[in-house]
Amino acid sequence: MHRFLLHIPGSRPAFYQVAEHLWGTRCNVDSDGDSRSAADDQWTELTLILRADSTQRLDIDPLSRAPLVLAICSRQAELGHRAAQFLQAHCGGTLERQTER
């Protein structure tokens, strides 16, 4: 599992924007998380799975809530890295790549 940590991010983009960044507009995904609405920018948990290829999966979970640290995980390094860079570009914060264990 490849893991990236985003330390002290600000407001997040709407969850569907993460999916669209990874797989394109109107991508067909299964999603789960703690977003209260489609426009919620305070979510801290998100799972995205591309329906056409279930190996394309991204999990984002809070490693810490105070201060907020989001763990961005994927079995595919490039997918996790693209998501982490996208989030950092939109949320700010410090991005750290963890080595595989």
* pLDDT given at position 44: 98
* pLDDT given at position 59: 98
Fold of 2-98: TATA-Binding Protein (3.30.310)
Rg value, the chain, Cα: 12
Average pLDDT over residues 63-88: 97
Structure tokens at 95: 């991005």
* pLDDT given at position 99: 74
Distances (CA, A) of 19 to 65, 78, 93, 99: 23, 14, 20, 24
Evaluate if residue 100 carries a pLDDT over 80: no
pLDDT digits (tens, 9 = 90+) for 10-63: 999 999 999 999 999 999 999 999 999 999 999 999 999 999 999 999 999 999
* pLDDT given at position 101: 58
Per the listing, tokens 């999966």 go with: 57
- pTM here is 0.95
